[in-house]
Structure formats: structure tokens, C-alpha cells
Amino acid sequence: MKKKVFSLKGEYKKCFEYISQSKKFIFLIIGFFSFFFFIGLLVLPSEDLYNQIMKMLKEILLETENLSLVELIFYIIFNNLQSGLLGMLFGFIFGIFPLIITVFNGYLLGFVSLMSINNEGLCSLWKLFPHGIFELPAIFISLGLGLKFGTFVFQKEKINSFWDYLLNSIRVFLFIIIPLLILAGVIEGILIFLF
């Protein structure tokens, strides 16, 4: 029996093939995110939701205020990896978890953008742009794969589909999402630290 030889090129080929096969789910996530981003820009939250969002933002500021550049970068990378991984893996429950994360993060980013516009004007959005160049595609891919993962229950061979979706998702996470989120964390950490 011939031994399988690990090929980095082969792994990346499989990753891009699986992403291509999952593109409708990724586009669906982008659609939901964009819709709730605009809702966040246009619709003010209720008082309770506003207080919860502000509490969460204050907690993040408290957790990061005395961190060194390296600590800040690791903090950002860890949080993004955790969000992406949980959104992807817990997608097996009918894809509900990735949708919840998408709706919440879309609305939150829209609301934060609105606050930024109100405080510093429309041009302030350009400051937010570099933060999302690598982070958003990585998160969209992981949540899209999570959404697809939930569809294994509708396949004829449910067990095979479950393992196929899981293993392909993990491969994409290791070879595509992790590098993108590391790059995003470094850029975001430096920008926050400097400005």
C-alpha cells in the first residue's frame, strides 16, 4: 500500500476547492452581515441593548488598556480565532450559531461605525477599514463553513457528510483562516497601539 505524502500545495488546493464548493453559504453570511451592519448604522438599539453593548465595549477597553503591543496582538488574534472556530464548529446545529454571530457582529460593527461617524465624522470610517481587510474575509469564510456544516442533516449520507464537512472545515481553518487572522491581529494591534 502506497503511503500518502503530505503536500502543502495539495492541502491548499483542497482548501480552495472546498471554499469554492461552499461559496453560496459564505455569500449568505456576507449578505446577513451587510444587512445587519446597515441596520446598526440606521436603527438605534433599545436602551437595554445599548447598555449591554456599551458594557461589553468598556470591558474590552479595560482588558486591553495596559497591554503591550505583543500582548495586544495576541489578545486580538486569540479572540478572533475563538470566534471563528466556535462559529464554524457549532454550525453543526442547523447552522444557527454562525447566523447568530453574524447578526450580532454585523449590527455591532454598524453601531460602532455610527458612533464613530457621530464623534469624528464620516472620514473616521477609513480608520476602521484596515482592521477588516484580512479579518472579515477570514470570519466570513469560517462562518460560511459553519453554516454549510449545519446542512449535513439534509444529506442522504449524514454521517459521511458530517465528517467530510468537519475535516474540510478544519483544513481550511488551519491553512487559510489562522494565517489571515494572525495577519489581521498584527495589523489591528499595531494600528490600535499607535493611534
C-alpha cell at 144: 460560511
The total of structural domains in the chain comes to: 1
Any domain includes 79? yes
Residue 178 lies in a domain: yes
75 in any annotated domain: yes
C-alpha cell at 23: 461559496
Q: Is residue 145 part of a domain?
A: yes
Has residue 169 got a pLDDT over 70? Answer: yes
Q: What pLDDT is attached to residue 139?
A: 93
Tell me which residue range forms the domain holding 98.
Answer: 23-41+67-194
Q: 29 lies in a domain?
A: yes
pTM: 0.89
Taken in order 181, 186, 192, 195, the sign of the CA dihedral is negative
Residue 118: the pLDDT is 80
Compute the distance between CA of residue 55 and CA of residue 74 in angstroms, rounded to an integer.
22
Q: Show Cβ contacts of residue 90 under 8 Å, excluding neighbours closer than 6 positions.
A: 97, 98, 146
Q: Read off the pLDDT band of 125 (50, 70, 90).
A: low
Distances (CA, A) of 53 to 5, 123, 153, 162, 175: 49, 23, 34, 35, 33
Q: Place 195 in a pLDDT band, splitting at 50, 70 and 90.
A: low
